[in-house]
Amino acid sequence: MSRYFIEVCYDGADFGGFQIQSNQVTIQGALDQAMTTLYRFPIPLTGASRTDAGVHALQNFFHFDTDVPITQKHIYNLNALLPKSIVVKGIYEVPGEAHCRFDAVKRSYIYKIHSEKNPFLEGRSWYYPFPLDVPALQAAADTLLTHTNFESFSKKNTTVNTFDCIISKAQWLQEGHNLSFNIDSNRFLRGMIRGLVGTMLQVGRGQLDLARFEDIIRLKNEQNVDFSTPAHGLYLSSIQYPAYFQKIV
């Protein structure tokens, strides 16, 4: 039996999340249905990163095991069966012990904001028509690189063994009326990025100073964090794996 990684991208607007849930249309559920239709029997899928309802992905992965010979044509077949908002970008043969979730060495996210009303960004970026001090935003982002415990930015209805995350990049980029927050880490906590963005925006608007922002990180109390940032501005942009991940079917 061989193991494969399957790479997908999707618009999360029409889905109740990533992982299969009862009474919800999900990314995993749609792919599971397409694969069952194509191969005529169910093939269990394991997901790499669970994005919340409404969150988009430029790249995400599942892995599965099968004895069925996988060919390039199967990518076309699956895309024909999937809704237009989900695309299979590739299928990769990997070692039998490879795991799409636990073997990931880096995950990258982007949060998109626009300050001028734009119908073409609706549902793809957060319309936030308030003046922002971008250097202050970046100063807040820079402090994230000096911390590892982000318990304050984890929603409490989750089960994890550690709140430690090693953030290797935290950068705000501005282009005209568009602003994006780009962050890389070995792992993320549930709600973490939306909480970081919402709270940093308070720094950018002068509602919090930098010292208070660092206090919020140290206090390990989610009640100090603004989690109200909408899902539709958030994108899982990439997942990085070790060198074994290279053979494309």
Range of the domain at 205: 106-237
Domain count, the chain: 2
Q: How far apart are CA 22 and CA 185, in angstroms?
A: 31
Boundary residue ending a domain (68, 103, 138): 103
What residues act catalytically? Answer: 52
> Of 93, 84, 40, 59, which is closest to residue 246 (Cα–Cα)?
93
Summarised one tens digit per residue, pLDDT across range 35-64 is 999 999 999 999 999 899 999 999 999 999
- The arithmetic mean of pLDDT across residues 181-189, rounded, is 96
Could you identify the residue written with the tokens 């009303």? 117
**Helix, strand counts (H, E) of the chain:** 5, 10
> Of 61, 41, 42, 51, which is closest to residue 21 (Cα–Cα)?
51
Task: Supply the pLDDT for residue 114.
Answer: 98
- Tell me whether residue 8 is in a domain: yes
140, 188: one domain:
yes
Boundary residue ending a domain (50, 72, 103): 103
3-state helix, strand, coil in the chain (%, to 5): 30, 30, 45
- Tell me whether residue 47 is in a domain: yes
> Of 46, 61, 108, 104, which is closest to residue 242 (Cα–Cα)?
104
* Residue 19, domain CATH: 3.30.70.580
Q: How far apart are CA 106 and CA 172, in angstroms?
A: 19
Q: How confident is the model at residue 249 (pLDDT cuts 50, 70, 90)?
A: low
- Tell me whether residue 244 is in a domain: no
Amino acid at position 150, single letter: F
Summarised one tens digit per residue, pLDDT across range 111-159 is 999 999 999 999 999 999 999 999 999 999 999 999 999 999 998 777 7
- The arithmetic mean of pLDDT across residues 203-220, rounded, is 95
In this predicted structure, the answer to whether residue 225 has a pLDDT above a threshold of 90 is: yes
* Residue 233, domain CATH: 3.30.70.660
Amino acid at position 232, single letter: H
Which residues sit opposite 62 in a β-bridge? 6, 47
> Of 44, 161, 148, which is closest to residue 102 (Cα–Cα)?
161
Q: How far apart are CA 120 and CA 204, in angstroms?
A: 25
In this predicted structure, the answer to whether residue 247 has a pLDDT above a threshold of 60 is: no
**Are 48 and 100 spatial neighbours (Cβ–Cβ below 8 Å)?**
yes
- Tell me whether residue 242 is in a domain: no
In this predicted structure, the answer to whether residue 248 has a pLDDT above a threshold of 90 is: no
141, 197: one domain:
yes
Q: What angle do CA 165, 5, 237 make, to 5 degrees?
A: 45
134, 229: one domain:
yes
3-state SS assignment for residue 28: helix
pLDDT top residue among 1 and 114: 114
* Angle (deg, nearest 10), helices 134-144 and 192-204: 140
- The arithmetic mean of pLDDT across residues 207-211, rounded, is 95
In this predicted structure, the answer to whether residue 16 has a pLDDT above a threshold of 70 is: yes
- Tell me whether residue 171 is in a domain: yes
- Tell me whether residue 227 is in a domain: yes
Residue 9, CA distances (Å) to 30, 124, 193, 238, 241 in order: 13, 14, 19, 10, 17
- Tell me whether residue 246 is in a domain: no
Boundary residue ending a domain (78, 103, 128): 103
In this predicted structure, the answer to whether residue 241 has a pLDDT above a threshold of 90 is: yes
Task: Supply the pLDDT for residue 201.
Answer: 98
156, 79: one domain:
no
189, 213: one domain:
yes
Task: Supply the pLDDT for residue 160.
Answer: 83
In this predicted structure, the answer to whether residue 34 has a pLDDT above a threshold of 60 is: yes
122, 163: one domain:
yes
213, 193: one domain:
yes
Q: Which two tokens stand for residue 204?
A: 């950018």
144, 21: one domain:
no
pTM score above 0.95: no
23, 140: one domain:
no
- Tell me whether residue 36 is in a domain: yes
